[in-house]
Chains A and B, each alone.
Chain A
Amino acid sequence: MGSHAQLSSQFFGDLLDSIIVDVASECHRIARLGLDRNLEEEEEELRLSAQARVRVADPSNSGEANSKYVVDIFGQTHPPVANEIFDCMNCGRSIMAGRFAPHLEKCMGKGRKARLKVTRSSTAVQNRYSQGSPVSTYSPYSNSTSTSRLSNGTSSGAGEEYSNGTFQEP
């Protein structure tokens, strides 16, 4: 090996040693000062979750995970659309529970056309940094980036069916 190669090899070795000692020194301090995380507990949780996913994904596994329920724990059965009847507190008409929300929308004049456009307020901290701090504060809807809005069902109106009891695989 030429002296250049030797030298660069030596430098590399020194750098590598330095990096290794960096990590070793940090870990040593953390362990000595009792600052380590409880890895055993964390790994146990990971293991249990992995096991659970395997069990749930197994098609031969019958049971609650993949089937609709016949009765609930109180022995009751429920129709797809809730059929309790009560009076609308806005107009007084008798409404079936499962159709109450769409009725109320129209009843309160809250159709899509009637929606008010209000600028979302955010506190300064959300706007301050480009990263878009993910924090919600007291001001409502403070996520100015309007992230993570998962709606449930379309807004088209009454009489929509929905599943009750089937478990969908992630």
Chain B
Amino acid sequence: MTTGNPSYTNPKPCKHLADYKLNHGLSGYKSLQKHLKTAPHGKTSVGKPSTKTPRCISCDGFQDIERAELYCCVCCDQVYDPDFDKAVMSKHIMGITGDKNGDESIGKRLVKRRRLGSGVVEELVDSKISKQLISMRDRRAKSCYPLGLRGLNNLGNTCFMNSVLQALLHAPPFRNYFLSGGHNHETCRKRSVDQLCLSCDIDVVFSAAFSGDRAPYSPAQFLYSWWQHSANLASYEQKDAHEFFISVLDGIHEKEVKSRNQNRDNGDCQCIAHGVFSGLLRSDVTCMTCGFTSTTFDPCVDISLDLDTSNFPPKNTANKSIKPDANSSMSTLLGCLDLFTRQEKLGSDSKLYCQNCQERQDSAKQMSIKRLPLVLCLHIKRFEHSPVTKMSRKIDRYLQFPLSLDMTPYLSSSVVRNRFGNRIFAFESGESDISAEFEIFAAVTHAGTLESGHYVNFLRLRNQWYKCDDAWINEVDEGMVRASQCYMMFYVQKSLYQKANEDWSHLPISPRRNMFGQ
């Protein structure tokens, strides 16, 4: 559901309501506005119903007082009207902020500029160029398998690095950038005084992976460079795949910022790391006394999710539990995302200052996604630290995840709208038209304990799954991936995924798949 949903922006009006509006205009709504009351949690009702409330005699317009909904007595059904919803929302906004325009911009730091980065990234991910480059490579080596598929040697407990590298090697826009010469390590080294350049090292890894050579590659130089980079930060001893991922993106970004000698706004950074992985999160803090909401935006390169336990079965938009039987005890990715975007009441020990009330009040916080990245990395917080026992443990709980993911319900437009009872109103303006449909292409799994475990990456290329276990690349079926314990999941926009599949379509697919009827 994008903003192009006609049922939402312009629902088919009930004939009787349409007639009423023709005859009486919006005056009825206007006089009703005085009696509308929206509670801090977003639900509107009509207070003090009086005989003065206009009810058209010939029509049938009628009111659900408790919920401020229109009901047509002739149709015997609840009906919807954008003008009515607008009247409801405008009253609410004016009531809180005293802003006559009903503009929800107070307290917001809007990222006004459209993301320029996407334009730059698109130029550099021209897959035509990368296709030419690929065809020039050595075709003798096992050309029936997807190019770029190559094992990575474990250099001594470096599977955390290998699993993330495999994901980066096959993230379509990231891959296309490097394969089409987006960062040429030969020309870069000559220009730069500072020898350390993670992008160069990644470029080398890309060249090796896509060279056609299928013997496992040792990313030793990359490890060396990365340790030099991360030595500047906290402990170099990052054996966690997620921290490694963040650190690598950070390293790429830093070099970009240094070489271009600029200090860009975080939200518009044009380095390849942010161009591919960066999204924007919206955080709303609502005062539970007056309903005033303070909104902030923050960029992110991934989303870390708490596991939804059986205490929180996944809900749909009407806050109903889906199938409260066997499935409700299973954690799902959608459940985690629901949990992430749920409005959470902050404890009374953390009252926040409300600009409207001019004092500290109980508040509620709600996260949502303002802008989705091209590649969405979802990280599951499988680490649990108890402040009481001071012990840490890994949560082995299985998490169900989809191969096709629709992020629409988690967008700011959906979440904010839902908070106000799904009224027809332009809650979120200027949302980019990036699609919300994603396809998974890589899954990093972890087996074992906190102290000793093993990372494995599953790659999905041209709808065939491959298990990348350090040096070992094997074909596996989808079921094995679904049943595995995921730690990080990499989703790419559906259009980019389909495009990536087409790119290699001129190469024959694996014969083994046909043999086993997979």
Q: Is the CB of B409 within 8 A of A37?
A: yes
Alpha-carbon distance between A116 and B235 when the two chains are bound, in angstroms: 6
Given A22-B67, A84-B218, A86-B218; A53-B398 close (CB under 8 Å)? yes
Q: How far is the CA of A155 from the CA of B397 in the complex (A)?
A: 26
- Cβ–Cβ < 8 Å partners of A78 in chain B: 151, 216, 470-472
Contact A76:B214 (CB < 8 A) given known A25-B69, A140-B246: yes
A60 at the interface (CB under 8 A from B): no
Could you write out 14 A-B pairs with CB less than 8 Å apart? A21-B67, A28-B78, A35-B8, A42-B402, A48-B479, A73-B475, A84-B153, A108-B227, A136-B304, A140-B250, A147-B383, A153-B159, A168-B447, A170-B396
Judge whether A115 is part of the interface by a CB distance below 8 angstroms.
yes
Find chain A residues with CB under 8 A from B246 CB. Answer: 136, 140-141
User: Which chain A residue has the least Cβ–Cβ distance from B257?
Assistant: A138
Taken together as a complex, chains A and B put the C-alpha atoms of A116 and B80 apart, in Å, by: 62
Give the A-binding residues of B (Cβ under 8 A): 1, 5-8, 11, 64, 66-67, 69, 78, 80, 142, 145, 149, 151, 153-160, 214-216, 218, 220-221, 223-224, 227-228, 231, 233-237, 239-243, 246-247, 250, 253, 266, 269, 274, 281, 283, 285, 296, 298-306, 316-320, 322-323, 326-327, 330, 332, 334, 340, 344, 346-347, 349-350, 352, 365, 367, 379-383, 385, 394, 396, 398, 400-404, 406, 408-409, 414, 421-422, 424, 446-448, 450-455, 466-467, 469-485, 487, 510, 512
A12 CB contacts on chain B under 8 angstroms: none
Contacts of A152 in B (CB 8 A): 157, 159-160, 239, 241, 446, 448, 452-455
Min C-beta distance of B449 to chain A, whole Å:
9
A135, B300: Cα distance in complex, Å: 7
Residue pair A97, B220 in contact (C-beta under 8 Å): yes
With contacts A28-B78, A36-B317, A151-B239 taken as known, whether A104 is within 8 angstroms of B227 at the C-beta atoms is yes
Contact between B476 and A64, CB atoms less than 8 A apart: yes
Query: Do the beta carbons of A56 and B479 come within 8 Å of each other?
Result: yes
In angstroms, Cα B475 to Cα A25, docked, is 49
Given contacts A149-B240, A154-B451, A164-B469, contact A125 B398 (CB under 8 A): no
Q: In the complex, which of the residues A29, A118, A168 contacts B234, with contact meaning CB atoms closer than 8 Å?
A: A118
Known: A45-B404, A78-B216, A136-B304. A153 touches B452 (CB 8 A): yes
Apart from A100-B155, A170-B484, list 16 A-B contacts with CB within 8 A. Answer: A29-B78, A41-B404, A49-B482, A69-B474, A74-B145, A82-B218, A100-B220, A101-B158, A103-B156, A120-B234, A129-B365, A135-B281, A147-B304, A149-B242, A150-B241, A150-B382
User: How distant is the Cα of A112 from the Cα of B224 in the complex, in angstroms?
Assistant: 17
Taking the closest CB of chain A, its distance from the CB of B187, in whole angstroms, is 21
Please, how many angstroms separate the alpha-carbon atoms of A78 and B218 in the complex?
13
Q: What 1/0 mask marks residues of chain A from 20 to 58 whose CB sits below 8 Å from any chain B CB?
A: 011101111110111111110111011011111101110
Q: Is the CB of B157 within 8 A of A162?
A: yes
Residues from chain A with a CB closer than 8 A to the CB of B481 are 52
Please name all residues of chain B whose beta carbon is closer than 8 Å to the beta carbon of A141 when the two chains form the complex.
233-234, 243, 246-247
B5 touches A34 (CB 8 A): yes
Residues of A near B66 (CB, < 8 A) are 18, 21-22
CB of B151 within 8 A of CB of A72, answer: yes
Which chain B residue shows the least CB distance to A90?
A: B224
Pairwise interchain contact A138-B301, C-beta atoms closer than 8 A: yes
Which residues in window 87-106 of A have CB below 8 A to B?
Answer: 89-90, 97-104
Are B224 and A89 in touch, CB under 8 angstroms? Answer: yes
What's the minimum C-beta distance from B81 to chain A, rounded to whole angstroms?
Answer: 11
Whole-angstrom CA separation of A22 from B400 in the bound complex: 31
Inter-chain contact B403/A45, CB cutoff 8 Å: yes
Complex CA gap A141/B237 in Å reads 13
Complexed CA–CA distance, A105 and B327 (Å):
46
Please, which residue of chain B has its CB at the minimum distance from the CB of A55? B479
A13 within 8 A of B: no
Instruction: Write out the residue numbers on chain A whose beta carbons fall within 8 Å of the beta carbon of B414.
Output: 35
Please measure, in the bound complex, the distance between the C-alpha atom of A28 and the C-alpha atom of B8, giving whole angstroms: 13
Kindly list chain B residues whose C-beta atoms are within 8 Å of the C-beta of A160: 156-157
Distance in angstroms from A111 CB to nearest chain B CB is 10
Q: Which residue of A lies closest to B473 (CB)?
A: A72
Contact with B along A137-148 (1 / 0, CB 8 A): 110110101111
- Taking CB atoms, residues of chain B closer than 8 Å to A3 are none
CA separation between A22 and B39, bound complex, in Å?
Answer: 15
In angstroms, Cα B140 to Cα A74, docked, is: 13
Q: Contacts A129-B346, A153-B239 known; A118 to B233 CB distance under 8 Å?
A: yes
Q: Which residues of B contact A69 (CB under 8 A)?
A: 472, 474
Are A170 and B474 in contact (CB-based, < 8 A)? no
Please state if B421 and A29 are interface contacts (CB–CB under 8 Å).
yes
Contacts of B142 in A (CB 8 A): 74
B300 touches A136 (CB 8 A): yes
**B301/A136 in contact, CB under 8 A:** yes
Residues of A within 8 A of B159 (CB): 152-153, 162
Question: A72-B473, A104-B224 known; A150 and B446 CB under 8 Å?
Answer: yes
Q: What's the minimum C-beta distance from B326 to chain A, rounded to whole angstroms?
A: 8
The contact of B402 among A28, A45, A52, A158, by CB within 8 Å, is A45
Is the Cβ of A30 less than 8 Å from the Cβ of B304?
no
Q: Are A135 and B303 neighbours in the complex by a CB distance under 8 Å?
A: yes
Distance A42 CA – B35 CA, assembled complex (angstroms): 41
Complex alpha-carbon distance, A90 and B220, angstroms: 11
Given contacts A52-B478, A97-B220, contact A23 B320 (CB under 8 A): yes
Whether the pair A170, B483 counts as a contact (CB closer than 8 A) is yes
Contact A52 B479, beta carbon cutoff 8 Å: yes
Q: Which residue of B lies closest to A167 (CB)?
A: B480
A134 to B478, alpha carbons, bound, how many Å? 30
Q: In the complex, what residues of A have CB within 8 A of residue B154's CB? A: 82, 98, 162, 164
